[in-house]
Amino acid sequence: MSQAIIKKAIADRKMLCPQCQQPVKEFEKLVEMTDSVWDGAGDSNLETKGVKVTLICGNQPCDWRERTEYWHNYISD
């Protein structure tokens, strides 16, 4: 679900670079952070803690990129 939100924010040009204030153009290395995994008696579950992603500005000459779990802070409304 978080990946869909990030893709939509980038496509809608709502995720902004904090350095040049232009829309972020891409992201990479999206991973869900595991909080806990349990398995027992036919029942199992994976709980996640959030999503970490590398955001890349991609606008010239700005070279900003950041690996963050607080990606939602870069989305403007």
- pLDDT, average across residues 2-10: 92
Cβ within 8 Å of residue 51, ≥6 positions away: 2, 3, 6, 30, 31, 32, 33, 69, 71
pLDDT tens digits along 68-77 = 999 999 999 8
Q: pLDDT at residue 15 above 90?
A: yes
Q: What pLDDT shows up at residue 27?
A: 94
Q: What is the mean pLDDT of residues 21-43?
A: 84
